[in-house]
Amino acid sequence: MLKSIHYQKTDPGLRWNKDSDIAIDSGRGLEADRALTPNVIKVDGGYRMYYHGLGPGSILGILSAFSADAAQWEFEPGIRLPAGGEWATQCIWSPDVIPLPDGGYRMYFEGKWQDADGSVRSAVVSAVSDDGLVWEQEPGARLGGENGSYGAPRCLYLDSGPGGRAPRYRLYASDFEAHQIVSAKSDDGLQFELEPGVCISREKKLESYEVYAPEVLRLATGGYRMYYAGWVPAPEVPAGSKFHGRIFSAFSEDGLQWLKDPDVCLDNGGPWDTVKASEPCIIDLADGRFRMFYEACDLEGRWRIASATSETALRPR
């Protein structure tokens, strides 16, 4: 079960076709204003998506939906986790849910909080759940807090520690102060230490403002595949976002040194994502293909969760 999170038998690759239907629409209920930052896991009978919803009265929190086929989604009533906890007084989003070795789940997510000078900063915080529906925030910050500003986490299991007693963890996150993607390591999933170096930095014109929101997959065939968002300022956009967003990709043999692919992996420009395609999440399908869920912003400033499907299942690298 632990391997099923951010782990794939083959590399999903670089060729994706946008799906014609919206996965999670906005304009109603708890996501009346916007639906953002998808994270999908396999559960009994299908898939559960966790995502950020902004609804009436500026409800800022994590919602969920269920699907038997990763195509048709049904909203699950209630708020999985509201904003307002430690290091998350302003907002919470970018959930990443993993199963725990002893049962239950942990959700890593980005919390926004206001420091003494009034500026809003981000920290990676966490919550735990027995059933994936009722969550309780854990004390402290996993990354950030008073030390830096980090968000959009993805947590992977690595090989077991000495003697095979317990799995180790690697957390990938966006470093908002340095505008880069970094990694941190932990023996218990709670206390993380930043690893030396930078995973992804701003090197391309189309990612000149931000590199953000890594989705990292450990591959059975060896190495790691990362999908991430690259943003560039877009002052001409009339509504919705001050930035254009696109999804890029990179490959690594060890999960630390990354080689970027030269082209955009998933471009903006469709009916749902005219302005921005960002925050990717990958799941494998029953037919051997893969589906990428991502947040999409159109010219009207409406935010939804869209998807794209890989053309074919790739052969092992």
Any domain includes 316: no
Region of 305 on the Ramachandran plot (φ > 0 left; ψ -120 to 50 alpha; else beta)? beta
Q: Which residues contact 48 (CB under 8 A, 6 or more apart)?
A: 40, 41, 64, 65, 66, 76, 97, 132
In 83-139, beta strands by DSSP E = 91-99, 105-114, 120-129, 136-137
For 164, list phi and psi in degrees, rounded to 5: 70, 25
**pLDDT tens profile 65-96:** 999 999 999 999 999 999 988 999 989 999 99
Q: What is the per-residue pLDDT for 242?
A: 84
Question: For residue 107, what is the DSSP state?
Answer: E
Any domain includes 315: no
Percentages helix, strand, coil for the chain (3-state, rounded to 5) are: 5, 50, 45
Q: What is the per-residue pLDDT for 317?
A: 38
d(CA 110, CA 95): 7
Any domain includes 138: yes
The domain that holds 38 is classified in CATH as 2.115.10.20
What parts of the chain have a pLDDT lower than 70? 1-4, 56-59, 160-166, 238-240, 312-317
Question: CA-CA distances (angstroms) from residue 267 to 213, 217, 245?
Answer: 16, 20, 8
Q: What is the per-residue pLDDT for 67?
A: 98
Contact between 223 and 249 under an 8 Å Cβ cutoff? The reply is no
Task: Residue 308: name the closest of 66, 251, 279 by CA.
Answer: 279
d(CA 213, CA 89): 21
Any domain includes 37: yes
What the block records as the tokens of 79 is: 């708020």
Any domain includes 276: yes
Q: What is the per-residue pLDDT for 3?
A: 61
Burial 149-160 (b: 16+ CB within 10 A, else e): bbbbbbbbbeee
Q: Which residues contact 225 (CB under 8 A, 6 or more apart)?
A: 8, 11, 12, 216, 217, 219, 249, 250, 251
Q: What angle do CA 287, 103, 109 make, to 5 degrees?
A: 75
d(CA 52, CA 92): 7
Q: What is the per-residue pLDDT for 161?
A: 47
Any domain includes 317: no
Domain extent for 244: 2-310
What the block records as the tokens of 268 is: 């903006």
Any domain includes 64: yes
Question: How far apart are the two ends of the chain, measured CA to CA in Å?
Answer: 24
Contact between 151 and 174 under an 8 Å Cβ cutoff? The reply is yes
Write down the pTM of the prediction: 0.94
Domain count across the chain: 1
Q: What is the per-residue pLDDT for 117?
A: 84
Contact between 143 and 177 under an 8 Å Cβ cutoff? The reply is no
Any domain includes 224: yes
